[in-house]
């Protein structure tokens, strides 16, 4: 019955989080997701139950016990492994049901936005690793991956931090997921708070064009509950229920996408093993010392996560459906609902199982690197954006800041404040940019690759790659976009 209790506890926390958000105005103004509220409540409850101690004396021997730990374990059974599974659904559904335009069209509309977004994302590695290795390592003993935790938590978010747990464990960093989730929470809250401060600053300076006051926004946007007459569609049934339920079919398609990603991962791991054997016993054996060093290293693909490859699987499925299916049965709105459902439960389970004891010893360096990440994002908005973005630089950059510190929804929320009717070119540039940005950053291929590189080749290697990437994107911007206005989407 543990699985029933576990599922019911997750549902109870989610409903409680939503109830509290509806009732507390401050949480509404902070636009804090109900899943985050629920996860923080779960964290407090689980931590308390696991640390309440009683003293018993048996035969003259005093014994300290935690009587409620077993109770907490029953109601949180499987929570620690649930995020690692659900993140695959989130990423596999990313491109399913989307009409994917040509790369040339995406580049034409969102090129400057992509260059700016890439610089923001790579800069989080530069700042985080620079602070961790260059400064904080003199005072604390930090893991090789500690400097990358800002990018994992901010740009990646709760889902990415939880999804990288296997990778952290494979390199002996037991606390990696806990630090990543803590950084994601700090980033999400600070994205909204800092974002609204910047919105007010921009309004006073005349940098906004279509600003909307918070008081003028619909009540449904603030409270988070739609009135009956304004409820949007949650998706369309694309097949007859007599044959198969539409939701079941969409879940099956996600499963196929994840399986393709799993096949790719298995193939890459097998290729790495084959290369190792070839170095020793193949037609062209390597020198003994080199082969020995290669075999004794930590296998690069052993802890590589599945979710970025599941995203590639989803993209592959969508391309096949678009090219060969007579009728497209994939509805993107339904995919978004499945993705959103998975992410909500993922966040609750992940936050509730954070090991606060593991974070406590390194709380100060965590706060310092997170503060550095916040400062970097603010710098990008107030200084870089007006120089790199061709039009409506504040609207474009505030959406980017919200996404790079929280989630895409946070970026869209801040954009809605400064451009409530989508009258600028920011929404189209930001949306198209995601198609080329997400596969690599924010939980994509590079985010998943940076951690093993930091452990195997050292954090300075990641730092150098990030610096090189920023320089490369600045060159791209200077050659292709400097002094040019970006065209708007048709």
Residue 227 resides in a domain? no
Rounded Cα–Cα distance for residues 427 and 433 (Å): 10
Q: Which residue from 177, 317, 303 is spatially nearest to 254, judged by alpha carbons?
A: 317
Of the three residues 77, 106, 136, the one that is the final residue of a domain is 77
Please state the domain count of the chain. 2
Specify whether 124 is located in the same domain as 272.
yes
CA distance 358 to 168: 14
386 and 452 in a single domain? The answer is yes
The pair of structure tokens assigned to 404 is 């790079």
The H or E element that residue 341 is part of is helix 332-352
Q: What pLDDT shows up at residue 489?
A: 45
Same domain (yes/no): 144, 67: no
- Digit-coded pLDDT (tens) for 236-252: 888 888 889 999 999 99
Q: Which residue has the tokens 């005072």?
A: 139
Let me know whether 35 and 118 are in one domain: no
226 within domain boundaries:
no
Q: Please tell me the predicted confidence (pLDDT) of residue 297.
A: 57
CA distance 161 to 151: 10
- 3 state SS for 46-85: HHHHHHCCEEEEECCEEEEECCCHHHHHHHCCCCCCHHHH
Measured between alpha carbons, how far is 319 from 222 in angstroms, rounded to an integer? Answer: 37
Residues of the chain with pLDDT under 50: 487-490
- Same domain? For 27 and 98 the reply is no
Q: What is the pLDDT of residue 490?
A: 39
145 within some domain: yes
pLDDT at 235: 80
- For residue 359, give its domain range: 79-221+243-490
Burial class, 217, CB count within 10 angstroms (exposed 0-12 / middle 13-18 / buried 19+): middle
Q: What are phi and psi of 305, to 5 degrees?
A: -75, 160
Looking at residue 286, what is its pLDDT? 59
Residues 157 and 213 reside in one and the same domain: yes
The residue behind tokens 């389970």 is 349
Asked if residue 217 is part of any domain, the answer here is yes
Strand locations in 126-183 (E): none
Three-class SS of residue 287? coil
Burial 276-304 (b: 16+ CB within 10 A, else e): beebeeeeeeeeeeebeeeeeeebbbebb
**In the prediction, which pLDDT does 58 show?**
64
Distance CA 184, CA 39 (A): 12
Say what the pLDDT of residue 33 is: 80
Tell me what pLDDT residue 285 has. 60
For 415, the token pair is 């954009």
Cβ-based neighbours of 327, under 8 Å, separated by 6 or more: none
The one-character DSSP state at 213 is -
Instruction: Using the structure block, give the residue that is written with the tokens 């993209």.
Output: 315
- Report DSSP letters for 394-442, one per residue: HHHHHHHHHHHHS-HHHHHHHHHHH-TT--SSHHHHHHHHHHHHTTTSS
Any alpha helices (H) in 206-245, and if so which ranges?
219-223
Token output for 30: 């902070």
**pTM of the predicted model as reported, rounded to 2 decimal places:** 0.77
**How far apart are alpha carbons 331 and 251 in whole angstroms?**
12
Residues 37 and 126 in one domain: no
Contact 473, 118 (CB under 8 A): yes
Q: Is 229 within a domain?
A: no
Residue 224 φ/ψ region, left for φ over 0, alpha for ψ in the -120 to 50 degree band, beta for the rest:
left
State which of 77, 109, 136 marks the end of a domain: 77
**Is 165 within a domain?**
yes
Say yes or no: 388 and 373 in one domain: yes
Helix, strand or coil, per DSSP, at residue 233: coil
């Amino acid at each position: 019955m543990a699985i029933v209790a576990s599922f019911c506890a997750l549902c109870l926390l989610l409903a409680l989080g939503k109830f509290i958000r509806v009732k507390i105005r401050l949480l509404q103004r902070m636009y804090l997701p109900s899943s985050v509220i629920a996860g923080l409540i779960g964290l407090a409850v689980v931590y308390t139950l696991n640390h309440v101690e009683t003293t018993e004396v048996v035969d003259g021997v005093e014994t300290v016990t935690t009587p409620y730990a077993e109770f907490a374990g029953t109601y949180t059974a499987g929570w620690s492994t649930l995020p690692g599974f659900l993140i695959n659904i989130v990423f596999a559904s990313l491109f399913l049901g989307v009409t994917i335009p040509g790369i040339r069209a995406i580049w034409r509309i969102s090129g400057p936005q992509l260059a700016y977004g890439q610089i923001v994302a790579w800069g989080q590695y530069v700042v985080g690793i620079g602070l961790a290795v260059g400064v904080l390592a003199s005072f604390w003993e930090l893991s090789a991956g500690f400097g990358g935790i800002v990018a994992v938590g901010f740009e990646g978010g709760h889902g990415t931090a939880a999804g990288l747990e296997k990778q952290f464990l494979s390199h002996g960093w037991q606390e990696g997921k806990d630090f990543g989730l803590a950084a994601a929470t700090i980033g999400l809250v600070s994205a909204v708070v800092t974002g609204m401060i910047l919105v007010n600053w921009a309004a006073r300076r005349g940098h906004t064009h279509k600003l909307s006051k918070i008081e003028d926004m619909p009540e449904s946007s603030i409270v988070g509950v739609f009135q009956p007459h304004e409820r949007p569609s949650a998706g369309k049934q694309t097949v007859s229920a007599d044959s198969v339920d539409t939701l079941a079919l969409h879940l099956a398609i996600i499963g196929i996408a994840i399986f393709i990603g799993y096949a790719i991962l298995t193939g890459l791991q097998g290729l790495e093993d084959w290369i190792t054997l070839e170095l020793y016993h193949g037609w062209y054996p390597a020198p003994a010392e080199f082969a020995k060093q290669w075999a004794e290293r930590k296998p690069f693909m052993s802890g590589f996560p599945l979710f970025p490859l599941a995203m590639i699987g989803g993209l592959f499925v969508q391309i096949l459906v678009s090219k060969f299916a007579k009728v497209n049965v994939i509805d993107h709105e339904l995919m978004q609902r499945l993705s959103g459902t998975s992410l909500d439960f993922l966040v609750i389970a992940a936050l509730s199982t954070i090991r606060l004891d593991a974070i406590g010893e390194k709380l100060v360096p965590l706060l310092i690197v997170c503060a550095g990440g916040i400062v970097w994002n603010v710098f990008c908005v107030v200084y870089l954006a007006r120089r790199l973005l061709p039009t409506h630089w504040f609207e474009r950059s505030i959406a980017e800041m919200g996404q790079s510190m929280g989630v895409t929804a946070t970026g869209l929320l801040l954009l809605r404040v400064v451009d409530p009717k989508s009258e600028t070119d920011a929404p189209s540039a930001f949306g198209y940019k995601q198609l080329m940005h997400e596969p690599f950053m924010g939980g994509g291929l590079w985010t998943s690759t940076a951690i093993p590189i930091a452990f195997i080749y050292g954090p300075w290697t990641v730092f150098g790659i990030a610096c090189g990437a920023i320089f490369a994107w600045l060159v791209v911007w200077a050659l292709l976009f400097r002094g040019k206005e970006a065209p708007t989407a048709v």
